[in-house]
A = this chain, B = another copy of it.
């Protein structure tokens, strides 16, 4: 019998649950399922030959440095090229505003660790990136959700919520947003909303955490400035990553912050892992400095745009009436809303029987709403499988709709909200 250590766990650990996404991923990896569940880039997008060349040069040239500990802040020359890149996208920073992290997930963890005491409030979208919620929940923060629309977070709704919280003596510390090609919904906040959001953050003395892994993967439309580049009051912490534009297996990402905050994050990182992989930082540096990144992003975009188009066309072709979905202009995900009576959490078993997988929408809601929604990833599956997968999923949904209609026809009784039969 396994020993029970539960009395020894911290309160946070007792409350933690395994990410539903990562558990689901394991399942889908073991079978012949067409998976729209993961948040994985396509391996076809990895610049394998370039990385090979870089490694060979790098080990000979800088091996002793690349295999040694790095400064906690990260390798200086990598921080410099990242700062340059951010400045070309409208920011005004130096490498001293940049901290290299082990994935942007570590940036979220360090922000949680640096800012959140138990009971502190984080305001975030519903839906929002599950890894953000989990990172903050690990520090016992409370989440307050703002429902999103097709333009992301609505500043008026946000303002109302903050007003309400303040009236009840609650002062949130962080506002967490994924403003561009959001994970999970694919929606993007327009510039005017970003400006309004900043004004609200200034009014309520909130720090904005702008998580921006996808903005360089734009397949149509014009670029929109990052929230940080619009900020005039140093109230934004920004997270960028190489995971979606180079390769996630390097785990090279970066956090941009006002200097006092950055210094605090560095101290927090010291006790967390001393430094991120020096070797991977050197690979990322060479990749960017030698000009491969910009060229290769075009390759990735062409690849993913095609996949997105196939998925959108397949949805149009196969999905039944009563279902809707977002039409993202970039990124990796889109968001499907089914009739209200369908619980995607219950349907997932049938989907997997039909050899197709998605992530249930409620996983992305801190308030566990969104039970009739799902996230679909369009970047990982090969082109030919996307149409087939959407067809399988459409069949699964149609069966749910038919079963529901059959139940409705057969029973003159209607269950009320609590599921209790209340009679004719």
Contact = CB atoms under 8 A, between A and B. Distances in A.
Interface of chain A: mostly helix, strand, loop or mixed: helix
A251 interface: yes
A420 interface: no
Contacts of A55: 52, 55-56, 59
A114 interface: yes
B272 A106 contact: yes
Interface in A37-95: 40-41, 43, 46, 48, 51-52, 55-56, 59-60, 63-72
Contacts of A68: 40-41, 43, 46, 247-249
A316 interface: no
A279 interface: yes
Determine which residue in A18, A115, A207, A277 has the highest number of CB atoms from chain B within 10 A of its CB, and name it.
A277
Interface stretch (A221-229, A261-269, A288-296, A358-366): A261-269
A29 B272 CA distance: 23
Determine which residue in A131, A259, A270 has the highest number of CB atoms from chain B within 10 A of its CB, and name it.
A270
A11 B258 CA distance: 20
A280 interface: yes
A63 B51 contact: yes
Contact of A267 (B8, B17, B43, B66): B17
Given A258-B5, A260-B3, A251 B268 contact: no
A347 interface: no
Nearest to A247: B67
Determine which residue in A17, A18, A135, A249 has the highest number of CB atoms from chain B within 10 A of its CB, and name it.
A249
A163 interface: no
A148 interface: no
A66 B264 contact: no
A231 to B, nearest CB: 12
Contacts of A279: 247, 249-250, 277, 279-280, 283
Contacts of A8: 115, 173, 207
A44 to B, nearest CB: 8
A22 B72 contact: yes
A234 B272 CA distance: 26
Contact of A273 (B13, B17, B109, B116): B109
A217 B109 CA distance: 34
A277 B274 contact: no
Nearest to A107: B273
A2 interface: yes
A13 B59 contact: no
Contacts of A22: 71-72, 270, 274
A379 interface: no
A28 interface: no
Contact of A249 (B69, B131, B207): B69
Given A280-B277, A280-B280, A270 B11 contact: no
Contacts of A256: none
A33 interface: no
Given A247-B67, A268-B16, A277-B251, A260 B5 contact: yes
25 contacts: A2-B260, A3-B258, A5-B258, A8-B115, A9-B264, A10-B116, A12-B117, A19-B270, A26-B71, A48-B67, A52-B59, A52-B60, A67-B250, A70-B249, A102-B102, A102-B251, A102-B273, A103-B274, A105-B273, A106-B272, A138-B271, A251-B273, A277-B277, A279-B280, A280-B280
